[in-house]
Structure 1
Amino acid sequence: MRKTIIITGASSGLGAEMARQFAAKGYDLGLCARRTERLESLRDEIQAADSQAKVILKELDVNDHDAVFRVFNEYRTEFGRIDRVIVNAGMGKGGPLGTGLFKYNKMTAETNFVAALAQCEAALEIFREQNSGHLVTIASISALRGMPRAMTTYAATKAALLNLTEGIRADLMRSRLPIPVSCILPGFIRSEINEKVKNTPFMCDTVPGVRSMVNAIEKEKKVAFVPGWPWRLVAFLMKRLPLKVVMKMG
């Protein structure tokens, strides 16, 4: 049984709720994010529900790539081993290309892909040495097609993350290493990144939405569209519908 989980970007949104739900299942947690005061509140909440819960907090800006490797190795030393890493940290700033918002599109690209690459590298160095572990990346349903307006760069980074995850899986399969790799593609689950978005079809509340993510992660699915309904069907259609139809989702 996997016992120890590292979650990046755990101070809010889907990361914080995953922490709550995994803690309730008895996992030991390594939670990291830039906002340590929010991590402290989350740890206190978890330990108020279960005084025996083991939660280790660390400040981490995933764009500080050296810090990613250092923090992951600190967790390994303190826990003794790491059983699962969830590459969750991300952002959604940006706008249509060519409208003066390059600064924000660049921030999104660096955080959602380059920093995710660093996290995958750091996790896999540990997993290869252990000859065990489960790597999980959190992408998005938007990874399946190009998206308009503020979603353009965000969707592109999630598509890159989806392909990166599959490439890692292929490499580990080729090497016959017992390290499963999962990519979770959430549909519209309410969180801080989309709290101002209104009238979105199929928007799911945070707790049930994250519950579907946790279930898929525990089953170590290779690729999971969550919640299953309606997002498996939406994913099937997105790959096949004309762009002018798909773009209405952005």
Structure 2
Amino acid sequence: MATERKTILITGASSGLGAEMARQFAALGHDLALCARRTERLEQLREEIHRDHPHARVEIKDLDVTDDGQVFEVFRAFKADFGRIDRVIINAGLGKGAPLGTGRYDANRQTAMTNFVAALAQAEAAMEIFREQNAGHLVMISSMSAMRGMPKTLTTYAATKAGVAHLAEGLRTELHGKPIKVTVLYPGYIRSEMNEKVEQSTPLMASTEKGVRAMVDAIEKEKASAHVPALPWAPLSVVMRHAPIPLLKKLI
């Protein structure tokens, strides 16, 4: 459990992994700055958290992460609301995609802009706050698909998740030995709205609560990086990186 109350800003907090992280961090005694496009869902989430954890402070704001100006405006406004932001979790993302050259450049571009360019804007806005404070914890939500280039509908998605991981790793190298920490998480199959069409019976699919518990634990420990849940994804990460392509295609 966290030994110090921290104010945590979570993007994409209206559903799925973001909403469950908010619930679990509230249970650990954190105050929350939650943002997403679907503010009605954020309001419902805030009511739920206040019911279960009456002492938690939860502030919500509308945010379209693809609007660069709004990203900086919202992050700065949360900083003004709380006085400081201790942790930013860049969680907002999109799972659209199509095989390259099949006429769906629009879907691939939307995924690239949301998952990488918008993540860059969020990282810029977060680091502006952290550099001013000379303290903070940046958490980048990547994906196990970042381990290797993925085929078909996952090609662009995987590339964006590798990109944001490298963005965060570059920051970690720059900030080594300084009071600003950087974590990259590589979630495997965790039940969420993004993968609701994946077969429920897959043995590798963790429940939202269990999967997010592993994420929250890694974040609280401020690990440099973590494959979550650790089993089976930590050993599978090695396989995914090094398996010959014929074997890799069978695995995915």
TM-score (norm 1): 0.97
The match for 2:112 among 103, 109, 113 is: 109
The match for 2:206 among 188, 204, 208 is: 204
Residue in structure 1 matched with residue 135 of structure 2 by the alignment: 132
* Pairwise CA distance, 1:118: 0.4
Residue in structure 2 matched with residue 61 of structure 1 by the alignment: 64
Residue in structure 1 matched with residue 228 of structure 2 by the alignment: 226
Residue in structure 2 matched with residue 5 of structure 1 by the alignment: 8
* Pairwise CA distance, 1:249: 4.3
Structure 1 unmatched ranges of 5 or more:
none
Q: Deviations over 1:117-166 (max 9, x none)?
A: 00000000110110000000000000010111211110010010111111
Moved over 4 A (4+): none
Residue in structure 2 matched with residue 194 of structure 1 by the alignment: 195
| 1:22 equivalent in alignment to 2:25 | yes
Q: Deviations over 1:52-97 (max 9, x none)?
A: 2100000000000111111101011110100000000001001101
Q: Deviations over 1:203-225 (max 9, x none)?
A: 10110100000000000000100
2-structure distance, mates of 1:73, 1:222: 26
Number of equivalences: 248
1-structure distance, mates of 2:244, 2:12: 34
* Pairwise CA distance, 1:2: 4.8
Write the mapping of 1:147-158 to structure 2, written as runs, cut at 5 A. Answer: 147-158=150-161
Residue in structure 2 matched with residue 168 of structure 1 by the alignment: 171
The match for 2:54 among 48, 51, 54 is: 51
Structure 2 unmatched ranges of 5 or more:
none
Say whether the 8 Å CA contact 1:94–1:153 is kept in structure 2. yes
| 1:41 equivalent in alignment to 2:27 | no
Q: One-letter code of the match for 2:47?
A: D
2-structure distance, mates of 1:13, 1:189: 9
Residue in structure 1 matched with residue 99 of structure 2 by the alignment: 96
2-structure distance, mates of 1:18, 1:150: 27
2-structure distance, mates of 1:95, 1:201: 25
Say whether the 8 Å CA contact 2:5–2:29 is kept in structure 1. no
TM-score (norm 2): 0.96
Q: One-letter code of the match for 2:173?
A: A
Residue in structure 2 matched with residue 214 of structure 1 by the alignment: 216
2-structure distance, mates of 1:40, 1:68: 19
Residue in structure 1 matched with residue 162 of structure 2 by the alignment: 159
2-structure distance, mates of 1:57, 1:235: 35
| 1:181 equivalent in alignment to 2:207 | no
2-structure distance, mates of 1:163, 1:248: 27
Question: Secondary structure of the residue that 2:79 maps to in structure 1?
Answer: helix
1-structure distance, mates of 2:203, 2:100: 26
Of the structure 1 ranges 36-45 and 235-244, higher mean CA displacement relative to structure 2 is found in 235-244
2-structure distance, mates of 1:193, 1:124: 27
2-structure distance, mates of 1:249, 1:45: 39
Question: Secondary structure of the residue that 2:89 maps to in structure 1?
Answer: strand
